[in-house]
Amino acid sequence: MSINHRILFEDNHLIAINKQSGDLVQGDKTGDEILPDLIKDYIAKKYDKPGAVFLGVVHRLDRPTSGVVIFARTSKALPRMNKLFAAHETDKTYWAIVEGNVPKKKDRLEHYLVRNPKQNKSYAHDHEVPNSKKAALSYSVIKELDRYTLLEVKLETGRHHQIRSQLSKIGCVIKGDLKYGAKRSNKDGSIHLHARTLEFIHPVKKEPVKIVAPVNEKDALWKAAVGD
């Protein structure tokens, strides 16, 4: 699987990829090939590196989710990027296509999430409960289709399955997301959640960086939702 055409940003310290649904950012019980290994192969070939290639995982996206994911190419950049993400000094925007219409054109959602590791699922509660973590996001409607709505989502916190869980809680299930109540799955196992943009100050060059990930143009619904 070639990743050359999916590279969104690359310099000496960082590399960003437009992750496809199904790509694994880190290994799991399936033993399937992981994105970092593909990127290491790409770097080794492009720069003719004979030894082991360094690549640090900075953040993750769920397997069925698509969009921008960034990796550190140097041991200098990795802790600095980790610090940016931990301090919420990155600006992340997601696009989500949800079933039906949303209650409000724009809103801020605040819930308390409880993660169930056995189910690999997070449950959203309106009030604080034992073992819960506060989760907050804001959304706004970009476009309404006949049976679906395209939302722009901005995260304030970075909890497990946060967008999926919080939108499901207000009755706005992401298309294809069976785990959180979708009516049916997508044929390719994807869900219509896409990490659209990532903005931050470069950890070494100290310059602003904005990375934008195109949606899958072969997907008719994404095309209908984001087209003019």
Contact 156, 137 (CB under 8 A): yes
> Buried (b) or exposed (e) across 71-91, using 16+ Cβ within 10 A?
bbbbeebbebbbebeeeeebe
For 101, the 3-state DSSP assignment is coil
Bridge partners, residue 115, by sequence: 122
| Strand-strand pairing, 208-212 and 193-201 | antiparallel
Active-site residue list = 62
Separation of alpha carbons 203 and 186, rounded Å: 38
Separation of alpha carbons 40 and 30, rounded Å: 20
For 91, the 3-state DSSP assignment is strand
> Which amino acid is present at 202?
H
